[in-house]
Amino acid sequence: MKIRLHQFLSKSGEFASKSEVKQAIWNGEVSVNGSVVKDIAFQFKTGKKKVEYKGNELFLPVTDFYFLLNKPKGFICSRINSQERELDKVSVYELFRDKVDAKVFESLITVGRLDEDTTGFLLVTTDGKLVHSITEPKKHIKKTYRVETESVISDEDLSSIRSGLKVSVVEFGVDESFETRPAIIELEHEKCAILTIDEGKKRQIRRMFKFLGNHVVELHRLSTEKMKLSDYQLESGEFCQLTRGEINTALFS
| CA–CA gap between residue 32 and residue 29 (Å, rounded) | 10
Maximum CA extent, the chain: 71
Sign of CA dihedral 18, 20, 23, 28: negative
Which residues have C-beta within 8 Å of that of residue 118, sequence separation ≥ 6? 71, 73, 219, 220, 221
* Distance between CA atoms of residues 142 and 4, nearest Å: 32
115 is annotated as an active-site residue: yes
Sequence-separated (6 or more) residues with CB below 8 Å from residue 54: 29
Q: How far is Cα 219 from Cα 75, in angstroms, rounded to an integer?
A: 14
What is the distance between the alpha carbons of residues 184 and 159, in angstroms, rounded to a whole number? Answer: 10
Active site residue: 88, 115, 127, 231, which one? 115
Q: What is the 3-state secondary structure (H, E, C) of 180-233?
A: CCCCEEEEEECCEEEEEECCCCCCHHHHHHHHCCCCEEEEEEEEECCEEHHHHC
Q: Which of 106, 122, 115 is nearest to 234 (CA)?
A: 122
- So which residues are the catalytic ones? 115
